A and B are shown apart, each in its own frame.
Chain A
Amino acid sequence: MIYVFDYATLKLISWAIVGLLLVGFAILDGFDLGVGVLLPFVGRSDDERRVLLNSVGPTWEGNQVWFITAGGAVFAAWPLVYAAAFSGFYVALILMLFALFFRPVGFDYRSKVEDPRWRSAWDWGLFVGGAVPALVFGVAFGNLLVGVPFHFDGDQRVFYTGSFAGLLNPFGLLAGLVSLALLTMHGGFYLQLRTEGAVRQRAVLASRIAGAIFVAAFAAAGYWVATGLDGFQIVAMPPPDSAFVPAAKTVERLPAGWLHNYAKHPWTVAAPLAAFGATLLALAVSGGRRAGFAFAMSSVAVAGAVLTGGFALFPFIMPSSSDLASSLTVWDAVSSRRTLQVMFWAVVIFLPLIVLYTGWVYRVMRGKITVQRVRDGGHGLY
C-alpha cells in the first residue's frame, strides 16, 4: 500500500473524520430528535402532529445514518474507544437503543391506523425516541469530561468499574441538559422553516425557551469546567508516529486542565463563541421571515457546541479517572496505519457524494408542510 500520510497525521485525520461525522449527525439528526421532543407539545391536533412528522418524514432516515456511520467509524478508527465506551456505558447505551427503536416504526406505523389511542401512543413513543437519545449523548459527553472509571489488563481487556448511577453525576446531568436543550432548540428552528400558522407560532416559542435554557446551561457547564473540574494531560508518551498501548504513556490530572488547549491554540475559542453567538443571532431573528438564516445559525451553534467539547478533550477521547494511563487518546486508541488510510480514502470518496445526493433530496422535498397539504396528501404521507 502506498501511504500518503505518516501514521501521526493519519491519527489526527481519524479525529477529524469522527468529529465531522458527529457534527454532521448532531446537525442533521439533531433537528429530527428535536422535532420528536416537540411533537406532543407543538402539535396539538392530529393534523398538526402529522405536519411535524411529515416535515422530517422523507429525510430523517438518511439523517440517522450519520449516527450509524459515526458508530462504524469509531469501530474502524478507534476500536479501543468503541470497546471501552460502549461496554462501559452499557445500560445507558441499551436504554438509548430501546428509545431509538420507537423512531423507524413510529414514523411509518403511526398514521397507518386511524385509532386516536394508537396514534397518541406512537406520538409519545416518538417523543421518547427524540428525548432519551438527546439526553444520553449529553450525559455521555459530560462523563468523558469528568473521566470514566475503567482500566485495561495485560491482554488489553477493558474493565469498567463504575455504575449506571455513577454516570448520572451532577456534571453529566448538566451536560445532558445542554444537549437536550440544544437539539430541542434546533428542532424548533427547523419547524420554523418548514411550517406555518399556529404550529409555527408554537415552534417559535419552543425555540426561545429551549435556546434560553441552552445558553444558561452551556455557560454554567463552561464555568464548571473552568473552576470545578479537573482536566487531563499527557506527561510523557512514545513517539506519536509509533504504535503503542495506552498503558505506555503517563497522564496527570490538573485543575482547569480542559482549558489548556484554548490557551495554547486561541483559535479554538471560535467553537464556544460560535455556540453562544450563533444561538443569540438565531434567537434574535426567531419568529421573523428569515427562518433560513435562523436555522443556519442554529446549525452553527450545534457544530460549535460539539467542537467545544472535542477541542477541550483533545488529544483525549475517553480519559480514565481510575487508572490515568488507561486513558484513551487519539495517539493510542487508534487502528493501524493501513486501516486509517483505508478509512481516509473511503471518507474522501464517499462523503462528498453523500452530501451531494442528500442536498438533492432536500431540494426535491423543499417547501412548507401545511395542515391542508397533510389532509390532501392522505395515503401518501405519514
Chain B
Amino acid sequence: MPTADIVDLSRLQFAVTALYHFLFVPLTLGLAWILVIMESVYVMTGKEIYRDMTKFWGKLFGINFAMGITTGITMEFQFGTNWAYYSHYVGDIFGAPLALEGLMAFFMESTFVGLFFFGWDRLSKVQHLMVTFLVALGSNLSALWILIANAWMQNPVGAQFNVDTMRMELTSFFELLFNPVAGPKFVHTVAAGYVAASMFVLGISSFHLLRLRDPSFAVRSFAVAAGFGLASAISVIVLGDESGYTSGEVQKVKLAAIEAEWETETPPASFTAFGFPDQAAEKTHFAVRIPWLMGLIATRSVDTPVTGIKDLKREHQARIENGMRAHAALQRLKSGDRSAEAMAEFDRLKADLGYGLLLRKYTARVVDATPEQIRAAVDDTIPKVAPLFWSFRIMVGLGVWFLFVFSAAFLVLARRRLARNRWIMKVALWSIPLPWIAIELGWIVAEYGRQPWAISEVLPTHLSVSSVSAGQLWFSLGGFIAFYTALLAVELYLMFKYARLGPSCLGTGRYHFESGGRAGPVTLQGTA
C-alpha cells in the first residue's frame, strides 16, 4: 500500500503544479476575448488605435500564454507519472475528455496563436480577426473539456466497475458530457478568468491614465475592461458554482464543510457569515448566522434540507460497512465463482465499493476491518472544515468587491467623470492581484473539498498514487518549484516591463516613450 509520505508528497506536487498552472490560464481565457472585442472594433471602424490596442494587449497575452503552455505540459503527463493507479482505475473515462481537449480545442488554440502574432501583414483584417476568435474559442473549449473531466471527479456519472478488468468503465459518453456539475463549473471558471483579465486590463490602463500617458489609448482599454468585467463579475456571482452543489455526494459534503453545517437544520438553512469552526468538537464558535440564506442559495427552495456533517457521517458509516460486504462479494467473484447469485450479490453492493476502499488506508484486508478502523475511515469522509470555510468566504468577499470595482468604473466612465474620480483608477490598479487570490482559493475549495476522494465515492486519493519513491518525489517536487518560481520571476519582470512601456513597445512611433510620440501636457478632460 502507498505510504503516507508518498501520498502527501504526491498531493503537494499536484497542488503546486495545478495552482501554478492556474495562475496563467484564467488570464488567457479572458484576455483572448478582450482581444476579440478590441479587434472587432478595429475591423468595424477601421480606427488604427484599436489595432494597436489588440497588438499591445496581445503582447502581454503572449508573455502569459507562454507560461500557461509551460505549466500545462506537466498537467497532461502528471496523471501517469504520479497518479498511476488513478490512471488505470478511471482512465477509461477520464482519459477521453483529455484526448478530446487536445483534438478539438488545444490544437486550434495553439495552431492559430502563432498566426495571431505573426500574421498581421499576411492576412486580411477579417481573416486576422477570425484567427483571434479561434484562439479565444480554442482556449475556452479547452477549459470546457478539462472541466468536464474535473466534474466527473466530483460527480462520477455514466460509469461502472468491471470485474474482468478491475477498473471503472464508461457506460454513457452522453452522461459524461452532460454531467450536471460540469455546466455550472465551466461557466463559473471561465467567468472568473474573464474577471481576472478585465481587472488586469482595467488596472494597467489606470496606471497609464494616472500618469497621463497615452490617455486616448488607455481610456479605450479601460472602457472595454469595465464593460466586459462588469458582465463577467455578474455572471461569476449569479451563475456561480452553487447550482452544482446539489448533484453528487462529494458536492453535498463539500457544501456542509464550506458552511460548517454540523447539524441538519429545519429548512431553509441559515448561512454562517462568520465564526471559528472546530472540527474536533463539531461546532462553530462565535457563529454569526443569517437565517434562510444558505437554504435558498444551496437548494433554491425553502423546504429542501441541507444535510449536516453529523448526519452525513452516519450515512457514510453505513456505506463503509456496506462497502466491506461489496469487497467480500468482489473477492468471491475474483476467486472464480461467477454464479448468477454471486454476480447479483456484487451488483447489489457495488455502489459502495469505493467506500470500502477508504479502509485500505488502515488495513490491507477490507473485509476484516475493526470498528476503530471503520470509525477512522468515517472521520476521513469529511474534509478539514476550517480551510474550506475561510477560503470560501474570502473568495465570495472578493467576488463582491470585483462587482463593486467594475460597477464603479463603468458608472464613472459612462457619466464621463473619470478625470474627477482618480480614486477608481487607484483602486483598479491595486486590485490587479485580487482575482488571482480568489481563483486560487476557488481551486482549493473545489479540490481540497473533494478529499478524501480522488473520484467521489469511487476512488480514495490515498490509493490513487504511483508506486514511486519519496526520493523521486522530492526530486520532481523540488524541480517543479525551482523551475516554476524562476520562470514566474522572469514572466513578472517582462510583464511589468512591457505593461509600463505601454503601447510604445509596439514601435509605431505614435506613443508616449517614443520620439514621435505625443509630448507636452495632456489632460484627461475630454478623452473619456
Contact of A361 among B70, B94, B115, B507 (CB under 8 A): B115
A76 within 8 Å of B (CB atoms)? yes
- B119 on the interface (CB 8 Å rule)? yes
Q: Indicate if the CB atoms of A87 and B468 lie closer than 8 Å.
A: yes
In whole angstroms, how far apart are the Cα atoms of A61 and B117 in the complex? 12
List the A side residues contacting B87 at CB < 8 Å: 75, 79, 82-83, 86
Assess the A351–B103 pair: CB atoms within 8 A: yes
Q: Is the CB of B82 within 8 A of A87?
A: yes
Output the least CB separation between A92 and chain B (Å): 10
Q: Name which of A41-49, A66-74, A207-215, A217-225 contacts chain B.
A: A66-74
Across the interface, do B63 and A343 meet the contact criterion of CB distance under 8 Å?
no
Q: Which residues of B contact A263 (CB under 8 A)?
A: none
Closest to B134 in A: A357
Task: Please report the C-alpha to C-alpha distance between residue A97 and residue B505 in the assembled complex, in whole angstroms.
Answer: 32
State the CA gap A153–B470 with chains docked (Å). Answer: 21
Decide if A109 touches B467 in the complex (CB within 8 Å): no
Q: Which of chain B's residues has its CB closest to A100's CB?
A: B73
The answer to whether A339 and B93 have CB atoms under 8 Å apart is yes
B242-270 Cβ-contact flags toward A at 8 Å (1 or 0): 00000000000000000000000000000
Of B62, B94, B122, the contact of A108 (CB 8 Å cutoff): B62
Within 8 Å of chain A (Cβ to Cβ): is B126?
no
B303 interface residue (CB < 8 Å to A): no
Q: Which A residues, 27 to 78, have Cβ-Cβ distances below 8 Å to chain B?
A: 54, 57-62, 64-65, 68-69, 71-73, 75-77
Centre residue among A60, A62, A79, A380 by max chain B CB count within 10 A: A79
Cα A357 to Cα B115 with chains together (Å): 11
Q: Is B447 an interface residue (CB 8 A)?
A: no
Provide the B467-510 mask, 1 if CB < 8 A to any CB of A, else 0.
11000100110010001000100110010011000000111000
Q: Check if B100 is an interface residue, CB within 8 A of chain A.
A: yes
Taking the closest CB of chain B, its distance from the CB of A1, in whole angstroms, is 7
Q: Are B475 and A91 in contact (CB under 8 A)?
A: yes
What residue in chain A is nearest B67 (Cβ atoms)?
A105
Give the distance in Å from the alpha carbon of A243 to the alpha carbon of B165 in the complex. 7
- Report the minimal beta-carbon distance from B418 to chain A, rounded to whole angstroms: 30
Identify which of A157-165, A250-258, A317-325 touches chain B: A157-165
A204 to B94, CA, bound (A): 46
Q: How far is the CB of A262 from chain B (nearest CB, A)?
A: 31
A354 contacts B by Cβ under 8 Å: yes
Q: Is B111 an interface residue (CB 8 A)?
A: yes
Which residues of the partner chain A approach B111 to less than 8 Å between Cβ atoms?
A: 59, 61-62, 65, 354, 357-358, 361
B120 within 8 A of A: yes
Whether the Cβ atoms of B102 and A65 lie closer than 8 Å is yes
Within 8 A of B (CB), among A216-246: 242-245
| Contact assessment for A62 and B114 in the assembled complex, using a CB-CB cutoff below 8 Å | yes
Q: Are A339 and B77 in contact (CB under 8 A)?
A: no
Chain B positions within 8 Å of A62 at CB level: 107, 110-114
Q: Is A73 touching B99 in the complex (CB atoms < 8 A)?
A: yes
Knowing A76-B95, A85-B80, A93-B81 touch, does A243 contact B103 (C-beta < 8 A)?
A: no
CA distance A84 to B93 in the complex (A): 18
Contact indicator A75/B95 (Cβ below 8 Å): yes
- Which of A76, A159, A361, A364 contacts B91, CB < 8 Å? A76
Tell me if A72 and B95 are in contact (CB < 8 A): yes
- Check B118 for interface membership: any CB of A closer than 8 A: yes
User: Pick the contact of B106 from A65, A83, A87, A105 — CB < 8 Å?
Assistant: A65
A346 within 8 A of partner (CB): yes
Q: Does A365 contact B (CB under 8 A)?
A: yes
Residue of A59, A62, A77, A365 with highest tally of chain B CB at under 10 A: A62
User: Once the chains are docked, how many angstroms separate the CA of A336 from the CA of B506?
Assistant: 53
Pairwise interchain contact B91-A58, C-beta atoms closer than 8 A? no
CB distance from A299 to the nearest CB of B (A): 18
Interface size on A, residues (CB 8 A): 73
Taking a contact as CB atoms under 8 Å apart, the answer to whether A381 and B118 are in contact is: yes
Complex: A342 Cα to B175 Cα, angstroms:
13
Query: Which residues of A have CB within 8 Å of B167?
Result: 79, 156
Distance A365 CA – B274 CA, assembled complex (angstroms): 58
B102 contacts across to A, CB distance below 8 A: 65, 68-69, 71-73
Residues of A within 8 A of B475 (CB): 91, 94
**Known A-B contacts A65-B111, A245-B164; A82 and B92 likewise in contact (beta carbons under 8 Å):** no
Q: Is the CB of A158 within 8 A of B119?
A: no
Instruction: Please tell me if the beta carbons of B96 and A339 are within 8 angstroms of each other in the complex.
Output: yes
Q: Which residue on B lies nearest to A73, using beta carbons?
A: B99
A230 to B20, CA, bound (A): 44
Rounded to whole angstroms, the CA-CA distance of A109 and B472 in the bound complex is: 31
Cβ-defined contact, B62 with A90, below 8 A: no
**Does B77 contact A76, Cβ atoms closer than 8 Å?**
no
Which of these, B92, B108, B117, contacts A58 with CB under 8 Å? B117
Known: A57-B114, A72-B76, A87-B81. A82 touches B104 (CB 8 A): no
Residue of A nearest to B114 (CB): A58
- B466 interface contact, C-beta 8 A: yes
B63 touches A108 (CB 8 A): yes
- Chain B residues, CB < 8 A from A288: none
- State whether B99 touches A69 (Cβ < 8 A): yes
Find out whether the CB atom of B84 lies under 8 angstroms from the CB atom of A87: yes
- Cross-interface CB contact of A109 among B63, B88, B114, B122, cutoff 8 Å: B63
Residues on the A chain within 8 Å of B487, using CB: 101, 105
Determine whether the beta carbon of B114 is less than 8 Å from that of A104: no
A97 near B74 (CB under 8 angstroms)?
yes
Q: Are B106 and A69 in contact (CB under 8 A)?
A: yes
> Please, what's the 1-or-0 string for B51-81, where 1 marks a CB less than 8 Å from any CB in chain A?
0000000000011011101100110110111
- Cα distance A90–B476 in the bound complex, in angstroms: 9
* B residues in contact with A69, CB < 8 Å: 99, 102-103, 106-107
Contact status A350-B114, CB under 8 Å: no
Residue of B nearest to A335 (CB): B92
Contact A354 B92 (CB under 8 A): no
Q: Does the CB pair A86–B67 fall under 8 Å? A: no
Report if A245-B73 is in contact (Cβ < 8 Å); known contacts: A58-B117, A69-B102. no
**Structural contact, B114 and A361, CB atoms closer than 8 A:** yes
For residue B238, CB closer than 8 A to chain A, the reply is no
Note all chain A residues with C-beta closer than 8 A to B113: 61-62
List 8 tightest A-B contacts by C-beta distance, closest first.
A79-B91, A86-B80, A76-B95, A69-B102, A62-B111, A58-B114, A75-B95, A87-B466
11 sample A-B contacts, Cβ–Cβ < 8 Å, listed by A number: A58-B118, A69-B103, A69-B106, A90-B476, A91-B472, A109-B63, A109-B490, A245-B164, A335-B169, A361-B115, A364-B115
Given A104-B69, A339-B96, A346-B99, 16 extra CB contacts under 8 A: A57-B114, A61-B69, A61-B111, A65-B110, A71-B76, A71-B77, A75-B80, A79-B92, A83-B91, A90-B472, A100-B70, A103-B70, A155-B85, A160-B467, A364-B115, A365-B122
The interface of chain B, by Cβ under 8 A from chain A, is 62-63, 65-67, 69-70, 73-74, 76-77, 79-82, 84-85, 87-89, 91-96, 98-104, 106-108, 110-115, 117-123, 162, 164-167, 169-171, 173, 334, 466-468, 472, 475-476, 479, 483, 487, 490-491, 494, 497-498, 505-507
